[in-house]
């Protein structure tokens, strides 16, 4: 039964991905390759630098986030080790499907060598996953209420704007903080024990997650052509696109995120310029960190193997 459901979900993801590509090609069929290259050349270097800067700040901020997760389980590690794990698992999880699983495998591989048990690592992974989305719910809830953009027909949602979604997203945020205030005892679920974080810790990680989502949106916004679209309005578009990308189960929401942004913004910005901006953003925020993380991970593994060989030789 589980295998059947898994296969159906994979088919669903594949269909969504294909439909997203068809939508993108439909939007861009009026442009030639040379026109896309020309749009790329028109992006000023200072905008590319800003995109890189916001992406860098996003990954740097997540190091503090990872350290807070270790604080949650009461374990301290050297900050450089935490930074290494944070960067590698975030770079991989931002590009590979099932981000929690991809991050968990890397975190388990590295943290287990530094004294953490499997149960402690699972708590770190769960804490990061849940509070990351708590930050998203907080930001998206507030943004959708303040900037109730129209929902594109391609999403096939029976709502005119994102405002009702914003109101719904606020509910779990309020629930989590109320739970944090009213309950101090751990929650027992079968063989698992979930400790309730302190109000200050939950507030800190939620704020960090919220700022991280803002930085991601700012990174993309910085390479878009100059328009009358304000950042709060664009942020609402970006958060809606990320939600669609997550629900599609397509790795990194590739194609899906681009489709939503293209459809929503094509009436105000030339489609070719939007696509070029998205490509630049993907290279800076996804591809470059992934390549860097792969090299760092490979070097670390090679160094560890070399040390074991030398120790064995002695």
pLDDT of residue 239: 94
Buried b vs exposed e over 257-288: b needs ≥16 C-beta within 10 Å? Answer: bbbbbbbbbbeebebbbbbbbbbbbbebbbee
pLDDT of residue 53: 96
pLDDT of residue 124: 86
Interval 27-42: pLDDT, tens: 556 666 666 676 667 7
Of 5-14, 184-193, 234-243, 273-282, the range with the highest mean pLDDT is 234-243
Average pLDDT of span 295-305: 82
Q: For residue 232, what are its two tokens?
A: 């709060």
Q: With both helix axes pointing from N to C terminus, report the angle between 288-313 and 79-93 in degrees, rounded to the nearest 10.
A: 130
Q: For residue 224, what are the contacts with CB-CB under 8 A and spacing of at least 6?
A: 234, 269, 273, 274, 277
Average pLDDT of span 113-124: 84
Q: Domain boundaries in the chain?
A: 44-313
pLDDT class of 164 with cuts at 50, 70, 90: very high
- Distance (Å, rounded) from C-alpha 111 to C-alpha 122? 11
The radius of gyration of the chain's CA atoms, rounded to the nearest angstrom, is 21
Q: How far is residue 10 CA from its own chain's centroid?
A: 20
pLDDT of residue 215: 96
The answer to whether 95 touches 245, Cβ cutoff 8 Å, is no
pLDDT of residue 236: 94
The answer to whether 149 touches 161, Cβ cutoff 8 Å, is yes
pLDDT of residue 11: 59
Average pLDDT of span 90-106: 67
Interval 210-246: pLDDT, tens: 999 999 999 999 998 877 889 999 999 999 999 888 8
Interval 250-296: pLDDT, tens: 777 777 888 888 888 877 777 778 888 888 998 899 889 989 988 88
The answer to whether 121 touches 104, Cβ cutoff 8 Å, is yes
Q: For residue 50, what are the contacts with CB-CB under 8 A and spacing of at least 6?
A: 218, 219, 222, 223
| 105 has a pLDDT exceeding 70 | yes
Interval 61-81: pLDDT, tens: 988 888 888 888 888 888 888
- Distance (Å, rounded) from C-alpha 53 to C-alpha 60? 10
Average pLDDT of span 51-64: 93
């Amino acid at each position: 039964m589980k295998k059947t459901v898994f296969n159906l979900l994979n088919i669903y993801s594949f269909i969504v991905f294909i439909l997203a590509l068809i939508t993108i090609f439909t939007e861009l069929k009026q442009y030639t390759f040379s026109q896309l290259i020309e749009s790329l050349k028109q992006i000023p270097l200072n905008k590319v630098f800003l995109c890189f800067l916001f992406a860098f700040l996003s990954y740097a901020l997540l190091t503090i986030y990872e350290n807070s997760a270790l604080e949650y389980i009461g374990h301290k590690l050297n900050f450089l080790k935490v930074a290494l794990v944070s960067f590698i698992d975030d770079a991989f999880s931002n590009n590979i499907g099932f981000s929690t699983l991809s991050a968990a495998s890397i975190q388990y591989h590295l943290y287990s060598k530094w004294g953490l048990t499997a149960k402690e690592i699972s708590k770190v992974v769960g804490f990061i996953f849940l509070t990351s989305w708590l930050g998203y719910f907080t930001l998206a809830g507030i943004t959708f209420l303040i900037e109730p953009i129209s929902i594109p027909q391609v999403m096939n949602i029976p709502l005119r704007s994102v405002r009702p979604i914003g109101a719904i997203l606020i509910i779990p945020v309020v629930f989590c903080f109320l739970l944090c205030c009213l309950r101090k005892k751990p929650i027992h679920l079968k063989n698992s024990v979930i400790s309730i974080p302190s109000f200050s810790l939950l507030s800190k990680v939620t704020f960090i997650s919220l700022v991280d989502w803002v930085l991601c949106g700012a990174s993309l916004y910085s390479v878009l052509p100059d328009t009358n679209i304000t950042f709060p309005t664009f942020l609402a578009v970006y958060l809606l696109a990320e939600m669609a990308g997550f629900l599609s189960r397509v790795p990194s929401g590739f194609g899906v995120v681009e489709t939503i942004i293209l459809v929503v913004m094509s009436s105000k910005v030339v489609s070719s310029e939007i696509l070029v901006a998205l490509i630049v953003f993907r290279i800076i925020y996804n591809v470059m960190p992934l390549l860097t993380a792969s090299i760092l991970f490979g070097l670390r593994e090679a160094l560890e193997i070399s040390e074991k060989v030398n120790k064995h030789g002695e």
